[in-house]
Structure 1
Amino acid sequence: MGITIQNITGNTAMVIWPKMASCADSFYSVMYHPNWNSMLSSYSRKNFQKEERVPGSQSSFVIENLTPLTTYILCVTCQSANPSSDQCRTFHTLEQDPASASNAKKELALGIWLTSSVLLLIIAGILLHGCLHLLCRKGQEQPEGRNRTSEDDNGKTWTKSMTQTSEELSRQSQLIQDTERKNSGGIQLATMTENPLTCTEPIMRTSKSQELVPMTEQHSAMN
């Protein structure tokens, strides 16, 4: 079976094979494996790392995602049959060219950027959800706080009014007591003014009694 491998690069290779009548209505199996060791490996399907199924209408296939500077063995059979030695070829991939390397770097950078963008969007969504939840909670707590504040203000106002009322009552009672004291003092002064003898009579009697005592003593001495 005349299998040829063309257009070998660091990552790709094209394999061409002649058509077989038995696979016209079936498929071809393109099997390949890196670092093949013919002394230890047999030509069995299970020993191949990769297998691609190609429609029977085709007679060529481009293998991709190869490793640069690597020796491969490639076999083409009909309907996944175990290959023979004449159905296999070996080839060696080239060094990776700068263009493909730059493309690979671009693809890697693009993949990293897409992944980081998705992660950032997820994190932003989580943060936005948390902020909205906090805002809703604060909106529910504010009316309760206002009601409590109004109740506290009403209580403080009532306490202040009661304190002011008690202070006013104490002031009024003090004024009444002062007024009564002044009135009682005025009545006593008025009574003393109307009856001056009430204050002087005891004094006069005392003086008269003192005058009578010496005269009595003199009379007794004369006798």
Structure 2
Amino acid sequence: MGIIVQNITGNTALVIWPKMASCADSFYSVMYHPNWNSMLASYSRKSFQKEERVPASRSSFLVENLTPLTTYIVCVTCQSANPSTDQCRVFNTLERDPASASNTKKELALGIWLTSSILLLVIAAILLYGCLQLLCRRRRERLQGQNGTSEEDHGTAWTKSTVHISEELGRQSQLMQDSEEKHPGGIQLATIIENPSACKKPAMLTSKRREQVLTTGQCSAVN
């Protein structure tokens, strides 16, 4: 049949075959399998690891995802028929391509970076949530403490004002008692002075306090 395998790399190989008239209205089956040396030489379709269907309009297929430094067998048949010897070809893949290895490393590094970033974001979110909870709790405790202190201050001020009023009342009562003890007839004396008919002789107003007391005594004697 004249199958050709070219452009072989560590991971890919291009398979080319001549068109067959029997597959003009059908499709081609491209079958390949690694480690040909350990494979049974029966050329049965069940012996192949992979099988791809290619439209009849095409006469080539790029085999991908191969393993570097591995021996492969590839066969091309019409309509999934069992291949024969002239429909198969054995080839060996090369070492891993530097570009492919670099891409693999980049993908691995990118995956690690993404995973680390997600973990860091999750940890940061947890820490932020904990800090917010702690701040809210401290603020609540501070407000409760301020409310309790204001209530204590209000109660203390009320007590002090009550005590002060009581002391003032006691002091005024004591002064009134002292005044009554010193001037027992003070009330009657004031009444007599204010009543103009209580005294027949008018009191002589002088600038001396002694004369006022004598005049008041005389009015009292007359009564």
- TM-score, scaled relative to structure 1: 0.62
* Alignment partners' CA distance in 1, 2:168 and 2:183: 22
Question: Which of 149, 154, 171 is the equivalent residue of 2:167?
Answer: 171
Structure 2 partner of 1:217: none
Amino acid at match of 2:158: M
Q: Secondary structure at the match of 1:10?
A: coil
Amino acid at match of 1:48: F
Structure 1 partner of 2:48: 48
The answer to whether the Cα contact below 8 Å between 2:39 and 2:47 also exists between their aligned partners in 1 is: no
* Alignment partners' CA distance in 2, 1:35 and 1:25: 33
Number of aligned residue pairs: give it.
182
Shift of 1:45: 2.5
Residue by residue, what CA displacement relative to the aligned partner does 1:88-112 show, whole Å, maximum 9, x if unpaired? Answer: 2111112224343334333433444
Structure 2 partner of 1:17: 17
Q: Secondary structure at the match of 1:174?
A: helix
Q: Secondary structure at the match of 2:109?
A: helix
Amino acid at match of 2:171: L
Question: Which of 115, 124, 127 is the equivalent residue of 2:125?
Answer: 127
Structure 2 partner of 1:215: none
Amino acid at match of 1:71: T
Shift of 1:20: 1.3
Q: Which moved more, 1:12-21 or 1:161-170?
A: 161-170
Q: Which moved more, 1:66-75 or 1:151-160?
A: 151-160
Structure 2 partner of 1:183: 179
Structure 2 partner of 1:89: 89
Relative distance call for 1:39 and 1:181 in structure 2 (3 A) is: closer
Q: Which runs of 5+ in 1 are unaligned?
A: 189-223
* Alignment partners' CA distance in 2, 1:67 and 1:100: 12
* Alignment partners' CA distance in 1, 2:63 and 2:36: 17
Amino acid at match of 2:25: D
Shift of 1:33: 1.1
* Alignment partners' CA distance in 2, 1:75 and 1:50: 11
Residue by residue, what CA displacement relative to the aligned partner does 1:29-70 show, whole Å, maximum 9, x if unpaired? Answer: 211111124664632323222222221111111212211111
Root-mean-square deviation (Å): 4.1
Structure 2 partner of 1:77: 77
Matches within 5 A, 1:50-69: 50-69=50-69
The answer to whether the Cα contact below 8 Å between 2:67 and 2:93 also exists between their aligned partners in 1 is: yes
* Alignment partners' CA distance in 2, 1:107 and 1:164: 79
Relative distance call for 1:51 and 1:114 in structure 2 (3 A) is: farther
The answer to whether the Cα contact below 8 Å between 2:30 and 2:51 also exists between their aligned partners in 1 is: yes
Q: Secondary structure at the match of 1:75?
A: strand
Relative distance call for 1:122 and 1:50 in structure 2 (3 A) is: farther
Relative distance call for 1:152 and 1:61 in structure 2 (3 A) is: same
Amino acid at match of 2:85: S
* Alignment partners' CA distance in 1, 2:92 and 2:169: 119
The answer to whether the Cα contact below 8 Å between 2:40 and 2:47 also exists between their aligned partners in 1 is: no
Shift of 1:154: 7.1
Q: What percent of counterpart residues are identical?
A: 60
